[in-house]
Amino acid sequence: MASLSMAPVNIFRHGADEEKAETARLSSFVGAIAIGDLVKSTLGPKGMDKILLGGGKGASVTVTNDGATILKAIGVDNPAAKVLVDMSKVQDDEVGDGTTSVTVLAAELLREAELLIAKKIHPQTIISGWRKATQAAREALREAAVDHSNDDARFQEDLLNISRTTLSSKLLTHHKDHFANLAVNAVMRLKGSGNLDAIHVIKKLGGSLTDSYLDEGFLLDKKIGVNQPKRLENVNILIANTGMDTDKIKVFGSRVRVDSMAKVAEIEQAEKEKMKEKVERILKHGINCFINRQLIYNYPEQLFAQAGIMAIEHADFSGVERLALVTGGEITSTFDHPELVKLGHCKLIEEVMIGEDTLIHFSGVSMGEACTIILRGATQQILDEAERSLHDALCVLAQTVKEPRTVYGGGCSEMLMARVVSDLANRTPGKEAVAMESFAKALMTLPTIIADNAGYDSADLVAQLRAAHQDNKSSFGLNMFEGTIGNMAELGITESFQVKRQVLLSASEAAEMILRVDNIIKAAPRKRVPDHHPC
């Protein structure tokens, strides 16, 4: 019998790569921990900002401390790092806030797991312990949550506190009372629907952040056509996405040859007739305002002016979509059957001035909850970051209206969960207890990082906070404005239960998934096919 060769057999295609066992695990841990270290300095009310400089000629500059924005902007090659980036995006889409917290918690869990694996504890044992710890932490968070939805005044105060807490770590922290009121008033207008599309945000350079305000109604950043009415009452609006030049068939590369200028004039006249015919079909809808996503051109605009119709051209797509939503109309592109077209309605359309710009204001729209927040600021970067901050606050408030339970912030919830998990670890025999203890340590790193970012002695503050929670002062957290621990109920530092629960579950699931990895197989890179075109 022939002896088997002991040489390693490569089963992969040439160029493919494989990392095994400890190497694969270490590679995953290093990538995920690096992502956590990248964003953890932005955590908390005293977190720092990052400048994101785009590539290319006109490099864009973004100044932000929003975890999801930072992670979306960086290109990562490490597969575990990509998992955390995707998790952060999902957190942003689901609840709007907690993007940095979820990334940092997952990274800290993996940091603890790395130490446990070095002590020869099997990954499955760690995962089993973590699952029990997650269940205990989730139960503790649920029991600590309070619901004031039956008391309108207290619920309104909860919403304001949540909004202030969300904005505390953002650019708007110095004007958080002003913007918290803006966000709460906008969300309360939605009457529980949670449809944030009804809230339009417009950014206008000039003034200061405190000049930002909430306008009841809808604003479109466009101008009304020449010689057309600038103010209309009881308006029927036709919203369209159609080319107003002609409906002719465009043949690529086609040319028209004429033998006299009179023939050119005939072609122009024929095009004008087609435009006029289209305008007449539009007028049959019984409207007094026509809004088109595409250009209207001079001749149709003139025809609309003669008919006393307000015509607005080149309305951007998101503006048209939102306008159709709030006025109760539909976007149409053909006009042969007026009876099938659903028109939009509003009580008043007029031009308004904001700064040096003219905008079109729609008031008394069909969707009464629609409103517009006008942001003012000195630079485009400030306006962009203010919009991101306000978006986070609006998302969290919309979630809180649907799921009204709240918990205390300032590291209070994390310390509460860590204490419950530690108590469970003390009662659990075997190696799972060590895994549970590591989960509690990871939870406690969040208040530690918040204190570090503020420049305080985190070891001292977290020790005081832990002692307070052991003494059943379960509403105590970090007061980062005084550098002490304090009662979060008195300070009004409140967060959404939904956000905290999502952070806990997403971080533990992502860390668990990365911990299971024992092999990374990289596909062979695509080969460049040379062009064989003749010169």
Using H for helix, E for strand and C for coil, what is the string for 55-114? CCCCCCEEEECCHHHHHHHCCCCCHHHHHHHHHHHHHHHHCCCCHHHHHHHHHHHHHHHH
Q: According to the per-residue pLDDT averaged within each range, which of 106-110, 191-195, 346-350 is highest?
A: 106-110
Single out the catalytic residue among 92, 97, 158, 392.
392
**Is 245 assigned a catalytic role?**
no
Side-by-side strand order, sheet with 494-496: 146-147, 405-408, 494-496
For residues 346 and 329, give the distance between their C-alpha atoms in angstroms, rounded to a whole number.
10
Average pLDDT over residues 344-351: 89
Pairing relationship of beta strands 17-20 and 519-522 according to DSSP bridges: antiparallel
Domain 218-367, second-level architecture: 3-Layer(bba) Sandwich (3.50)
More confident site: 134 or 63: 134
More confident site: 215 or 23: 215
- The percent of residues in the chain predicted with pLDDT above 70, rounded, is 90
Q: What is the mean pLDDT of the chain?
A: 84
Single out the catalytic residue among 62, 64, 99, 327.
99
CB 218 within 8 A of CB 323: yes
For residues 173 and 213, give the distance between their C-alpha atoms in angstroms, rounded to a whole number.
17
pLDDT band with cut points at 50, 70 and 90 for residue 102: very high
Q: C-alpha distances in angstroms, 99 versus 43, 86, 364, 504?
A: 10, 10, 37, 12
Crossing angle (nearest 10°) for helices 152-168 and 176-189: 130
CB 136 within 8 A of CB 421: yes
Q: Angle at Cα 404 formed by Cα 398 and Cα 405, nearest 5°?
A: 130
pLDDT band with cut points at 50, 70 and 90 for residue 229: confident
* pLDDT (0 to 100) of residue 1: 45
* pLDDT (0 to 100) of residue 278: 86
* pLDDT (0 to 100) of residue 372: 87
pLDDT in tens, 240-260: 888 877 655 555 566 777 777
Q: Which two tokens stand for residue 133?
A: 């710890």
CATH 1.10.560.10 applies to domain 17-147+408-522: yes
- The percent of residues in the chain predicted with pLDDT above 90, rounded, is 20
Residue 3 has pLDDT above 80, yes or no: no
CA atoms within 13 A on the CB side of 59: 8
More confident site: 40 or 356: 40
Q: According to the per-residue pLDDT averaged within each range, which of 218-227, 441-450, 487-496, 508-517 is highest?
A: 441-450
* pLDDT (0 to 100) of residue 532: 58
Q: Which residue has the tokens 């906008």?
A: 186
For residues 474 and 235, give the distance between their C-alpha atoms in angstroms, rounded to a whole number.
57
* pLDDT (0 to 100) of residue 91: 87
**Is 494 assigned a catalytic role?**
no
Average pLDDT over residues 124-131: 92
* pLDDT (0 to 100) of residue 534: 56
For residues 423 and 136, give the distance between their C-alpha atoms in angstroms, rounded to a whole number.
10
Q: Nearest Cα to 503, choosing from 494, 515, 511, 491?
A: 511
Ranges of each domain in the chain:
17-147+408-522, 218-367
Average pLDDT over residues 411-420: 92
**Is 392 assigned a catalytic role?**
yes
**Is 99 assigned a catalytic role?**
yes
Q: Which two tokens stand for residue 470?
A: 């052991």
Q: What is the pTM of this model?
A: 0.82
Residue 2 has pLDDT above 60, yes or no: no
For residues 397 and 495, give the distance between their C-alpha atoms in angstroms, rounded to a whole number.
10
For residues 425 and 527, give the distance between their C-alpha atoms in angstroms, rounded to a whole number.
53
Single out the catalytic residue among 42, 64, 66, 69.
66
Q: Which two tokens stand for residue 202?
A: 């417009």
pLDDT band with cut points at 50, 70 and 90 for residue 272: confident
pLDDT in tens, 421-479: 999 999 988 888 999 999 999 999 999 999 999 888 989 999 999 999 888 888 899 98
Residue 76 has pLDDT above 90, yes or no: no
* pLDDT (0 to 100) of residue 30: 87
* pLDDT (0 to 100) of residue 112: 93
Burial grade of 113 (CB within 10 A; 0-12, 13-18, 19 or more): buried
Residues 6+ away with beta carbon under 8 Å from 16: 521, 522, 523, 524
* pLDDT (0 to 100) of residue 468: 92
* pLDDT (0 to 100) of residue 440: 93
Residue 140 has pLDDT above 50, yes or no: yes
For residues 73 and 68, give the distance between their C-alpha atoms in angstroms, rounded to a whole number.
9
Q: Which residue has the tokens 């975890």?
A: 67
pLDDT band with cut points at 50, 70 and 90 for residue 530: low
Lowest average pLDDT, out of 65-74, 186-195, 289-298, goes to 186-195
User: Which parts of 152-226 are beta strand (E)?
Assistant: 199-205, 213-216, 218-220
Q: Which residue has the tokens 């695990």?
A: 25
Single out the catalytic residue among 64, 69, 100, 165.
100
Residue 511 has pLDDT above 80, yes or no: yes
